[in-house]
Chain A
Amino acid sequence: MANTAKKIKTPNFNEPEVTKELSATFGLNSDEHDLMLKIVGRTPTYTEAGIFSVMWSEHCSYKSSRFHLKKLPTEAPWVIDGPGENAGVIDIGDGQAAIFKMESHNSPSFIEPYQGAATGVGGIMRDVFTMGARPIANINALRFGEPSNELTKHIISGVVGGIAGYGNCMGVPTVGGETNFHADYNGNPLVNAMTVGIANTDKIFRAAGAGINQPVVYIGAKTGRDGIHGATMSSAEFDDESESKRPTVQVGDPFTEKLLLEACLELMKQDAIISIQDMGAAGLTSSSVEIAAKGNIGVELNLDHVPQREEMMSPYEIMLSESQERMLLILKPGKEELAKSIMEKWDIDFAVIGKTTKDQRLKINMYGKCWCDIPVPPLVDEAPEYERPYIKSKKAEEIENNSYNFPEGGVIEALKTLMECPDLASKRWIWEQYDSLVRGETIYGPGIANTQSERAADAAIVKIYETKKALAITSDCTPRYCKANPVEGGKQAVAESYRNICATGATPLAVTNNLNFGNPEVPEIMGQFVECLEGMGKACKELNYPIVSGNVSLYNATNGNPISPTPVIGGVGLIQDINKATGIGFTSEDEIIYVIGKTNGHLGQSLFLREIAKQEEGNSPFVDLKEERKNGQFIRKCIDIKAISACHDISDGGIAVAVTEMALASNIGAKISGEDSAKFWFGEDQSRYIISTKTPEEFEKIADENNIEILKIGSTGGNEISINNNNISIKTLLEINEAWLPQYMAG
């Protein structure tokens, strides 16, 4: 039960007077401080200044990015809710909606990897079930520093443990993800988590909709002093002092969240909730302001009624606490007892902590005193928006593709080097710690040689309960492309997502994103941001693949060293018949293997160049969006009429790596031949797929009718990969591919 009012006289919290200097420590600059004073009309209280500072932080206000985010395409006939709500919502037919979002927990995961990652996963699941959806799948995109960095191993171990600890306990399968390593992430690992849920389209819950004189209800875990000013922490660069910021990291309790999930879904079946918002970053502040702003109303809170975990908390602390596993609801008047009884069933704290008001003000009372009385709209509408100055990225220099050859040992040696390099090495050590099978609907899980669902595909495929349909889910970004050429890199991230969905036979529907960049106050970094968004926008528009939700994580830099621009795209597609879902593994011997799409041999910024020539040079590959769309539609058509039996997109490592992965996924070899050059086998031209087919004549006919460029390169069979008669056994390749990560983590 709620810790109800402690009837003691107003304690003295010794809160300092709000001055420009104090505001600066809260992350408000001089202009922002002046604007706050003008809005309040007097010197704000300490609590009020705290509220302004979190609402106007980069994390909550998107002040550096908003101007540019508005330019992204967010609409399509199937989009129900675009950006603005807790998560994006798309119509998937039969009265059902897919609700999904990706979010980062980058800086907390550096400071305390286990809890940082765990609470990131908890937060994103909350965003999704707040809207009424049952989460059915989690995926994640991880970027770690170079393996030789002394912190990397410790961070991997904690982050993976945290994701597993939280996700497994929630009973939501973690079905896929991506993991890369680069020195650019040495001081700033990226932990981006995405949750996808399913709801009925007539039972979607939002923050908007609250009216006047309705009860404001708090449910979930008790409030403690954890994570105070977390939102401002993740809106600043790291320096050597960051490690001492440890106390602000929140601790997750997945058990409470599991109960909260079930309790919320049960309450949502009743006609009781008007609006709901989870308490994420900036906790009670942002949730109450959000509900008030979207309803054009005010909120009056009595914090004495807030369930508290610690003694003598100040209103400032309660309003800014980032304790996890909490929700704020506006109930239909009279439904309090019903809601309370459901919460009691699930052992979840329930407290009416205030009411909605007409006056559009946020009023906070506690210990018999008013601590905050400020207008709501300016917290949101007048939040600073910066069109930060930016410099366009330098044009990358093209390299001469023909000047690169195989290393000593030829094509096979190059293939071996790539298959064991950290970016392509098997991530089994990671994903075997994730329960990918719970709920019993996972058809294609993570990795290549999968030991869980025992099938691999370019996107995870999760069946929708009691239907024949399934969702295809993938996360993609190639930071080295984004760094060399932000516009093309941004396009490529969206295009690869589209490609991965098409390769399974699913129709790409919409994306969420997590835009991870350095310090936006540095014009070169702002340039990367603007240009990546430009590329993403173009691709989403051309591919009819709108952005329905997302998150921005800026200031990912340590001592002035920024991360590579990393706009991660989380894509969702729909396949109508699970029996048609197609994996990457060859399905039988003597199938014919083709390359779909044009091969020019682009080696600039390729993995071959980085791992074998030891150069991070050249321009990123160009994405022809019309070609991308045409090839994707062709692949889907072929899968639908069962003209192909396996399909894999060509990405890192080019044709040679793609064919090898198809062999590793199935334990069926391949004999392939083609131009005897590094650029042919390892070039990373875009919009391409490898397919295998049992009916080559039929396949070639359809390709011809659709004006698709195809190239026959060989056939399946045996237990070796043979490239122009240079052979290596699948067993050896598998051993090489599996060896690196477990050895590294054990070392």
Chain B
Amino acid sequence: MKTSIIVFPGTKCEKDMAMDVEKISGRKANMIWHKETDIGNPDIIILPGGFSYGDYLRCGAMAAHSPIMQEVIKKAKNGTKILGVCNGFQMLVETKLLPGALLHNRTLKFICKQVNLRTETNNSPFTQNMNKGDIIKVPIAHGEGNYFADEKTIKTLEDNDRIAFKYCNEKGEIDEESNPNGSINNIAGIFSEDKKILGMMPHPENSILDYQANQNGKSLFEGILKEIA
């Protein structure tokens, strides 16, 4: 699997992602600094978490409008798979590759903790190694992950099987108490229309390695690998 990880000024989860890509695929990821113009021909582009441009103006906004992102958008249109996690998800909504917006957590505070996610579909290159309804525990670490979109958009996402993950309790029930940030319908991650782009707030990359709290993020990365291989 050829992976390109795009590094913006202020990106911070590129190391975590790179460790996992290497662990799962056996190949080192290409780290692409945002000022480079050629992102090569990767099978997947990863937009990792962090505070690109200091989260100034709006999270992900300035990265979304940077020159390299035009290249990413071109690749996306040609079917290259894109995974945006946390700040990467924020970039994807700012570029409009994914609908909606990510607002301040309703507590107004940064939250770092493990959450339970319910897998809403296995009909995607990313979740094909999982079962619909699978519960995975992975961490969140964000201040602005409160997913918002108008009713029509939400309905489109729900009706077209485009919701990847929802925050849930240990039993897989979607309830208010399990919603860490106020996201509409507990939405934690969504797909593009063709399911080739996944944006999610939680960090599956911190639940992969043997010494991490759990290895629940593996199935997601293995799914991507299977798709590409």
**Direct interface between A and B, CB < 8 A:** yes
A-side residues, CB < 8 A to B, are 161, 164-165, 168-171, 253-256, 258-259, 345-347, 432-440, 443, 451-455, 463, 465, 578
Q: Which residues of A contact B109 (CB under 8 A)?
A: 161, 164, 432-433
Query: B209–A440 contact, CB under 8 A?
Result: yes
> What would 25 A/B residue contacts be, using CB atoms closer than 8 Å?
A168-B112, A168-B141, A170-B12, A254-B51, A255-B10, A255-B51, A255-B56, A258-B12, A345-B33, A432-B112, A433-B110, A433-B111, A433-B112, A434-B110, A437-B203, A438-B12, A438-B49, A439-B16, A440-B16, A443-B211, A452-B113, A453-B213, A454-B213, A454-B214, A463-B211
> Is A432 within 8 A of B111, CB to CB?
yes
Chain B residues touching A, range: 20 to 34
* Complex: chain A residue closest to B20, CB-CB: A440
Residues in A with CB closer than 8 Å to B54 are: 169, 253-256, 258
A161 CA to B110 CA, complexed, in Å: 9
CA distance A726 to B217 in the complex (A): 43
Give residues in B with beta carbon < 8 Å to A: 9-10, 12-13, 15-16, 19-20, 33, 35, 49-51, 53-56, 109-114, 139, 141, 143, 203, 205-206, 209, 211-214
In the assembled complex, which residues on chain B have CB atoms less than 8 Å from the CB atom of A255? 9-10, 51, 53-56
How distant is the Cα of A258 from the Cα of B110 in the complex, in angstroms? 18
Residue of A nearest to B213 (CB): A454
Quick one: which of B20, B112, B139 contacts A434, CB cutoff 8 A?
B112
**A169 and B16 in contact, given A437-B141, A451-B113 (Cβ under 8 angstroms):** no
Residues of B near A346 (CB, < 8 A) are 9
| Chain B hits for A169, CB < 8 A | 10, 12, 51, 54-55
**Which A residues lie within 8 Å of B143 (CB)?**
168
Distance in Å: Cβ of B60 to nearest Cβ of chain A: 14
Closest to B50 in A: A171
Contacts A433-B110, A438-B13, A440-B212 aside, 7 further interface pairs with beta carbons under 8 A come to A161-B109, A164-B109, A169-B10, A169-B54, A254-B51, A436-B112, A453-B212
Q: In the bound complex, how far is the Cα of B139 from the Cα of A436, in angstroms?
A: 10
Decide if B15 touches A440 in the complex (CB within 8 Å).
yes
Which residues of B are found within 8 Å of A453, using beta-carbon distances? 212-213
CB pair B9–A438 under 8 Å, yes or no, is no
Closest 4 CB pairs of A and B: A171-B12, A255-B54, A440-B16, A454-B213
Q: Is the CB of A258 within 8 A of B51?
A: yes
Q: How far is the CA of A484 from the CA of B15 in the complex (A)?
A: 48
* Pairwise interchain contact B112-A435, C-beta atoms closer than 8 A: yes
Q: Is the CB of A164 within 8 A of B110?
A: yes
Partner of B9, one of A165, A258, A443: A258
Task: Give CA–CA (A361, B24) in the complex, Å.
Answer: 59
Measured between beta carbons, the chain B residues less than 8 angstroms from A451 are 113-114
> How far, in whole Å, are A165 and B108 apart by their CA atoms in the complex?
12
The complex places the Cα of A169 from the Cα of B121 at a distance, in Å, of: 33
Closest CB-CB distance, B58 to chain A, in whole Å? 14
In angstroms, Cα B214 to Cα A451, docked, is: 12
Q: How far is the CA of A164 from the CA of B142 in the complex (A)?
A: 11
Find the A residue at minimum CB distance from B137. Answer: A454
Separation in Å of the A91 CB from the closest CB of chain B? 24
Q: Report the minimal beta-carbon distance from B32 to chain A, rounded to whole angstroms.
A: 13
**Looking at the complex, which one of B9, B16, B55, B113 makes contact with A432 (CB distance below 8 Å)?**
B113
Q: How many angstroms between the C-alpha atoms of A259 and B10 in the bound complex?
A: 7
CB nearest to A170 among chain B residues: B12
Return A121 CB to nearest CB of chain B, in Å: 14
- Name the A residues within 8 Å of B13 (CB-CB): 171, 438
Cα A253 to Cα B212 in complex, Å, equals 31
Chain B residues whose C-beta falls within 8 Å of the C-beta of A443 in the assembled complex: 211
Contact of A452 among B19, B56, B139, B209 (CB under 8 A): B139
